[in-house]
Every structure is written in structure tokens, then in C-alpha cells.
Amino acid sequence: MGVNDSLSELRGAIDELDSQLLTLFNQRADLAKAVAAVKLREGETVDFYRPDREASVLRRVKEQNPGPLKDEHVARIYRELMSSCLALEKPLTVAYLGPSGTFTQEAALKHFGHAVHTVETATIADIFHEVENGEAHYGVVPVENSTEGVISHTLDIFMNSALQICGEVALRIHHHLLTNVEALDQVKVVYSHQQSLAQCRQWLMSHLPGVETIAVSSNAEAARLASEEGAAAIAGEIASDLYQLNMLASNIEDEPNNTTRFLVIGQQEVPPSGDDKTSMMISTKNIAGALQSVLAPFAYAGISLNKIESRPSRQAAWDYVFFVDIDGHQDDEKVSTVLQELLPNVNLLKVLGSYPKAVI
């Protein structure tokens, strides 16, 4: 079959393959249902969702993909396929920062696929509460942006939470100016979340100088206000569809690689997937060289440090907690040896979770 065949012959061949794919997809779904039955038989508390297994399935299809389909597109197809298989095992509820149309919802759907049920919350703290109370199985919280840095509020909540980090999601963030007015000179007010206003600061200064900007609780809320009041909002594409606003200017973020990283939180510890990260919270003793003595053992063991952030501990003035991300899983011998070594030198060491690095 190829370019010399007629359109109807080629479409007939596609129909034939689609029928085979449909049979194979459903055979795969039957196997996932059988896996669920085995999980129920073997465990008292059952985690139907297995982030480590999902990451290795996605990595494997990307590695084995012969093309011409792009690796990332094949991974997205499998992302949705596994999401549907998991929904047959156990329908999952995932909490995100609402209202609907926020980037956190987009991140949740990117990570879990569209077969999960997403529930909105009013604040980041509420996402933690929903998961802690069992109202939601998992939650997705923003943690850092490549332009604006860390979302300190999220880190602060981790200090008092027993939840585990089960995964990470990286989302390219495109901001658009959404409004139903016809031209830029008719825009009198721009609503958005403060992070998004900051990410578009240069664009606002050069295209809407002197126009009032108002920070609100989320970009979706900004879009809702813009549609009600005839104002403008900076938000993403989903919000433009949801609130029926035109895109007067697109991709207005100052930094072309503007990316936000989100964390998936839940009640489960994730086993190694083969390519993992570990996030931890460390409180050092208030003595000279304390931070050095915490970081040096990672370097000696050849463990890469991805990130270190400090936050006031809120226990005493000028007392700090460090949030550290490293390469590797807490069950890896190299990592667990260093964690043991650190214990005598710190006031607190709390592993927030080991989880697969983002695959899609």
C-alpha cells in the first residue's frame, strides 16, 4: 500500500488496521482488569495507580517507536490508553487549583490522561486537604516556574503535610491576552494571577503601558471576570474556550521557554522506576559549615543535586529549612547510604517522596 493506491483503497486499509487496533486496545484493557484482580487478591491496601510502571511503559514506547510518528505523540497516545485502562481498574479523582481552565488542571490531565475525574479546589492548601481526607486520590500542585522561581506557598504547606510526592509534571506555559474588545487601545483593565502578570511584565509595559493590572486568585477567574465585565485577562487556551473570549494577542510570555513544574501528591510511596528523583526537606543545625556538611556527601557519592531552595522554618527567627531535589530513588543504595550519613548532622530530614522523572 502506498501513494499509487486510490484514496478508497488506502482508507479501506486504514479501516482494516483500526479494527485490529480496536481489538488490541480492548485486549490490553482486559489485561489491565486482570491486573486489578491480582492487586486486590494480593494486597490489603491497594494502589491501582502505579506511577513507576506508567513511567516505564511510556519510556519503553518512546524508545521502541520506529516512526514516522513522533516519540512524544506516541507517548501521548499511550498516556490516554493507560488512563482508560486504569479507569476500568479504579476511577480516580484528582484535585487541582480551580476554577476549571487553570494550568493546574491542564497539568493534571497531561499527567493522568483524560479518563480521570478532576475536582477543583479554591486554594493550594485545599488540594492537600482533599487528598489527606480521602476526598481525592491525588492532587496536583504548582511548585516552580522557570521565569518567576519557586511557588513558596506550596513548599510551606509541605512542611506540615504527611503526603508523599508521587510524580512531577512539566508544562510549557503559553499566555494569551483574552478579551472580547476589538483592539488593544480599548483595553482598560487586565486581570490575571500575579505569577502570570509577572511572566508577561515586559509585554504589558510595551503593548499596554499605563493600563491597570489586577491580580486575582487564578487565570481562569481572570477570564471569567473579563467575560463578565468586558475587560481583558491573561490566561491559557482552555480558559479562552471555556469563557468564550477571543485571543487578541497570543504567546505574550516574556520568556519563550516559560515552563511550570507541578508535583503530584498522594498517600503512596512509589517504588523505583529506573529514572527517578527524590525531594526532601532538611533543617540544619545553626553552626558554621552546616549547609556544606549536608551537601558535600551527595557530591562525594556522585549524586546530582537538581535544586535547593531555602524557606524560613517558622519555628524561630532566621531559622531555615532547605528543600533539596536529587537524582535517584531513596531505595537506591547510594542514596540511602548518604541519607543515613546525614542524619547525625541535621535537626530534621524528611523525604517528601521518590518519584519518576517526567516522561511526557
Ligand X SMILES: O=C(O)C(=O)C[C@]1(C(=O)O)C=C[C@@H](O)C=C1
The footprint of ligand X (CB under 6 A) covers 32, 35, 49-50, 53-54, 57, 82, 85-86, 89
DSSP 271: P
State the nearest-atom distance from the C-beta of 211 to ligand X, in Å: 47
State the nearest-atom distance from the C-beta of 49 to ligand X, in Å: 5
Q: How far apart are CA 359 and CA 348, in angstroms?
A: 31
- For ligand X, the closer of residues 55 and 233 by Cβ is 55
- For ligand X, the closer of residues 98 and 266 by Cβ is 266
State the nearest-atom distance from the C-beta of 36 to ligand X, in Å: 6
Give me the torsion for CA of 260, 350, 160, 264, rounded to 10°.
Answer: 30
State the nearest-atom distance from the C-beta of 84 to ligand X, in Å: 8
State the nearest-atom distance from the C-beta of 247 to ligand X, in Å: 36
Residue with cell 483503497: 9
Write the CB contacts of 254 (distance below 8 Å, at least 6 apart in sequence): 147, 199, 200, 201, 202, 203
Which position's Cβ is nearest ligand X? 85
State the nearest-atom distance from the C-beta of 81 to ligand X, in Å: 7
Instruction: With beta carbons less than 8 A apart as the criterion, state whether 200 and 234 touch.
Output: yes
Instruction: With beta carbons less than 8 A apart as the criterion, state whether 141 and 154 touch.
Output: yes
- For ligand X, the closer of residues 236 and 353 by Cβ is 353
- For ligand X, the closer of residues 57 and 95 by Cβ is 57
Instruction: With beta carbons less than 8 A apart as the criterion, state whether 223 and 174 touch.
Output: no
Residue among 242, 207, 209, 245 at smallest CA distance from 229 = 245
Most distant CA pair in the chain: distance in Å? 78
295 burial via Cβ count (<10 Å: 0-12, 13-18, 19+): middle
Element (H, E) at 130: helix 124-132
Q: How far apart are CA 243 and CA 227, in angstroms?
A: 6
State the nearest-atom distance from the C-beta of 329 to ligand X, in Å: 18
- For ligand X, the closer of residues 37 and 205 by Cβ is 37
- For ligand X, the closer of residues 86 and 326 by Cβ is 86
- For ligand X, the closer of residues 32 and 170 by Cβ is 32
Q: What distance lies between CA 131 and its chain's CA centroid? A: 16
